[in-house]
Structure 1
Amino acid sequence: MAYLGQPRWWVEVLLIWGIYSAYSRVRNIGGKDIDRAFGNGRSIAQVEQHLHIAFEPALNRWVHVNGWVADLSALHYHTLHWWITIGVFVWLFWRRRESYRRASLVLALTTLIALAGFFLIPTAPPRMYPGYVDIMAQTASWGWWEGSGSPGPESVTNQFAAMPSLHCGWAIWCGVMIAMYARRTWVRVLGVLYPISTAFVVIGTANHYVLDVIAIVAVIAVSMAIVYMPWRQAADAVARRSVDSGKSVA
C-alpha cells in the first residue's frame, strides 16, 4: 500500500490528463439528444413528485424574489466550485501528503462515474422548463459568465449534464476531506457547511434536481468505499480463513 501513501508526479500528470480527456470527450459528444434529455428531466420530476421531495420550484421562486440571495447564489455557483476544489487539492498535496493519494483517487472516481452518468442519462436541468427562473441567466449581465453559468463557452458545454450533480460531488468531496483531515474544529465545521450550501445553490438556481444531489451522494459513497476499504486486509482475512478451514478438514 506504499503506492497509496506517496504521490508520484508522473502519476498525477497521467491522472489529470486521463480525467480531462474523459471530460472533454463526454462534453463534446454529449448534449445532442435533446428529446431524450428533456424526457429524462420530466421523468426525474415525476419520481420526485411521487417521493414528495420536489421542492425545486418553491426554492427557486424564493431565491428569485430575494435579490441578494440570488446574487450570492450565482457567485457561489460560478466561483467556489473551482477555487475551493483546487484549494483543497493543493492543501492535501502539501500539508496532508500521507492522505493525498486516497483523497485524489476518490475525486477521480467520483468525476469519472459522474461523467458516465452524463453520457448514459442526459438530463435537461430544471431551468430549461417553464415555471423556473434561470438565476444564472438573471445575473449574466454582470459579465462574468454566460447565461448557463458555464465556466466555458456554451457552444462547447454539455447543457444536459445534470444527473448526477458533479457540482455537488466536488463540494461533498471537499467537505469530506476537510472534515477528515483538518485539525481545527472551525475549519471542519466550514467544510461540512460547504456542500450543504452548494446543494442549496444548485437547486435554488434551477441547475439541478434534488435527485441529482442524492445520486452524487451515492456516487461519493461508492468511491469512498472503493478507495478506503482495506482491500489487502480483507483479502488476507479471507486467505487465513481458507487456510484454517483446510487445516480443520485435514
Structure 2
Amino acid sequence: MRTSRWLRGWRRELALFIAVDLLYDLGRGAFAARLSVARAHAHWVFHLERSLHFAIEASVQHALSGSVSTFVLANVYLSAQLMVLPVALVWVYRRSADIYRDLRNTVIGVWAIALPVFALYPVAPPRLAGIGLKDSVTEQGAVALTGHSTLFYNPYAAVPSLHVGLAFAIGVAIAASVRRRPAKLLAFAWGPLVAVSVVATGNHYVFDVATGLLAAAVGFAVSRLSRRLPARPQAVPVSLGRLLSQAASEGAPT
C-alpha cells in the first residue's frame, strides 16, 4: 500500500515537472533572441562587473585551465542540470516530504523568475560575448555546446544562472535530509563547486552567480510563505438522504 501510494505521488510530481518544462520550452521558443542583442547585454554586464572590480572570469578560467581541472569542471557543469537535479529531486522525495516540497517549489520558482528575464533581457555567456574567454565545455566536456545541442538549453540565458541557484537549493535540501556531518558538508559543497564550474568554463559571469542565488532565495521564501498560509477548508460531500434526514430531525417536535 505504501509503495503504491509513493508511486502515485511520484507520477503526479513527474507530470508536474513535465508540464512546467514544456511551458518553459514554449516560452523559450517564443522569445528567441539574436546574438547581437544578447552580446550587447553581455557587454553591459561585463562593464558593470569591471566598474565594481569583480570581473574575475578570465582570472578564474586561467587559474583552472589545466587539462584535469577543466575536464572535471566541464562535466560538473554538464551534469548539474541534466543528471544531478532529477536524481536529487527523487532522492529528497523519498527522504522527506516537507523538504522535497520546499525544493520542488524553489526549483519551479527559479524557473518562473528566470523565464521572463531571459525573454526581456537575453544575455550571451562569456564564451559567446567576444571578451576573450574560451568554451571549456566544448573542448573538454562530454557534450559540445554548439549546433543541435541548443535544443536542450537556451544559449542566451546567462542571467540568472539556473545552474548555481538550483545547485545551492539542492545542496541545502540534501544537507537538511541527512544527519552525518561529512554528508552535510559534501552537500553544502555542491553549490560552490557548480558556481566555480560555470565561471571557469566561460558559461556565466559572477553577476549571473549572484542573480542565480537571489532567484533561489526568492523561490525558497515564496515556498515557505505558502506553507504558512491557512489551508482552504475542503467541502465535505453530503448525500441528499442525509440532508433530508437531518432536516426532519431538526424540525421534529420535542
Fold match (TM-score > 0.5): yes
Match of 2:64, SS state, is helix
What 5-or-longer segments of structure 1 have no aligned partner? 1-5, 234-250
Change in 2 beyond 3 A, CA 1:98/1:158: closer
SS at match of 1:124: coil
The 1:86–1:13 alpha-carbon spacing in structure 2 relative to 1, beyond 3 Å, is: closer
CA distance in 2, matches of 1:232, 1:32: 39
What are the residue-to-residue correspondences of 1:1-250 with 2, within 5 Å?
Answer: 8-9=9-10, 11-64=12-65, 66-128=66-128, 129-139=130-140, 144-148=142-146, 153-154=149-150, 157-229=153-225, 231-232=228-229
Structure 2 residue identity aligned to 1:173: A
Distance in 2 separating the partners of 1:110 and 1:78: 19
- The answer (yes or no) to whether the contact 1:164–1:213 under 8 Å persists in 2 is yes
For residue 155 of structure 1, report the CA deviation from its aligned partner: 5.4
Question: How many angstroms does 1:63 deviate by?
Answer: 2.3
Q: CA deviation at 1:158?
A: 2.4
* Structure 2 unaligned blocks of 5 or more: 1-5, 231-254
Shift of 1:227: 0.9
Amino acid at match of 2:117: G
Larger deviation, residues 15-24 vs 66-75: 15-24
- Cα gap change, 1:38/1:170 in structure 2, threshold over 3 Å: closer, same or farther? same
Q: Give distance in 2, aligned partners of 1:98 and 1:155.
A: 34
CA displacement, residues 204-227 of structure 1 (integer Å, 9 cap, x when unaligned): 011000000100111111111111
Distance, in Å, in 1 between the alignment partners of 2:27 and 2:45 is 21
Asked if structure 2 preserves the Cα contact closer than 8 Å seen for 1:122 and 1:161, the reply is yes
**8 Å contact from structure 2 (residues 42, 124) kept in 1:** yes
Moved more, 105-114 or 19-28: 19-28
Give the aligned residue type for 1:186: P
Kept in 1, the 8 Å contact 2:102–2:223? The answer is: yes
User: 1:78, 1:215 → 2: CA distance?
Assistant: 20
- Cα distance, 1:114 vs. partner? 1.7
Cα shift at 1:8? 4.0
Number of residue equivalences: 222
| Shift, 1:10, TM fit | 6.3
Distance 1:21 1:155 in 2: 13
Could you tell me the percent identity over the aligned residues? 26
CA shift in 2, pair 1:219/1:147, >3 Å: closer
Q: Structure 1 length normalisation: TM-score?
A: 0.80
Aligned counterparts of 2:178 and 2:22: Cα–Cα separation in 1: 31
Residue 232 of structure 1 aligns with an amino acid whose one-letter code is L
Contact 2:75 2:137 in 1 (8 A): no
